[in-house]
Amino acid sequence: MKRIFIPLMLVFAIGCKQEPKKELTVQEIVDNSIADSGGKMFNDYKVTFDFRDKSYTSENVEGQRVFKRISDLDSTQIVDVKRADDFERYMNDSLVMVHDTMAVKYANSINSVHYFVRLPYGLNDAAVNKELLGKETIKNKEYYKVKVTFDQQGGGDDFEDTYLYWFDIESFKPDYLAYDFHVNGGGQRFRKAYNERYINGIRFVDYENYKPKTDGLDILEIGQLFDKGELELLSKIELENITVTEN
């Protein structure tokens, strides 16, 4: 009986061994992150928030995503509206003409604020190219490190910028991001997410905004520079008065 029992136990033990953990693709990592952060609710709900001295709104209007920025100057209210490639400015509800160069500048500014607020949702846009660079440890925690670049077609005026995201390997939350930019002399930024909160199922965070102490460094090294304390804090990016309602 023992001779039969022991081989059976060995077979059972081998059969119960855990399968090797499947390596995720970069698309699976981003999809998991978006799902955890609110998924399609980013498009299904109207979001309003205050950032610094302005109010912002993101909503669907007749199937199209519309971003707004509202500023109050004395007795004048300025409402900037960006939808697809169009930009409009209203002053006290009256449409005003804006020179093309300034319209592009205003539209990019609005898009930038909404882009960071909605992350990681925008990482599945058609113009986005994603590359998994492996894993990297920051502050004793392991992350998937993902590089993002943009196609010129549909990538906006800043399509040449490179972004990096660090996704928690367990929760898939993007705890850190970094990017280089080429306007206004160029530079690099590194952001640490904090003050996470979910409002009606959508994840929002604030950011500590850092830059390298010296110029000309490889953007791919910026995570390790932060880990070593070699970045300086520039500012904090804080959202206030967030509301999430159905369109």
Residue 219: helix, strand or coil by DSSP?
Answer: helix
Delimit the domains of the chain by residue range: 22-246
In this prediction, residues 20-25 reach a mean pLDDT of 80
Return the pLDDT at 247. Answer: 76
The mean predicted confidence, pLDDT, of the chain is: 88
Return the pLDDT at 70. Answer: 97
pLDDT surpassing 50 at residue 4: no
Q: Do 180 and 159 touch, CB atoms closer than 8 A?
A: no
Instruction: Name which residue leads in pLDDT, 6 or 105.
Output: 105
CATH (one of 3.40.720, 2.50.20, 2.40.50, 1.10.3470) for 22-246: 2.50.20
The C-alpha R_g of the chain, in whole angstroms, comes to 23
In this prediction, residues 115-130 reach a mean pLDDT of 93
- DSSP secondary structure code for residue 238 in this structure: -
pTM: 0.86
- DSSP secondary structure code for residue 215 in this structure: S
Q: What is the per-residue pLDDT across 226-235, written as a single tens digit (0 to 9) for each?
A: 999 999 999 9
Q: Do 120 and 101 touch, CB atoms closer than 8 A?
A: no
Q: Which amino acid is at 230?
A: E
77-87 burial, b if ≥16 CB within 10 A, otherwise e?
ebbbbbeeeeb
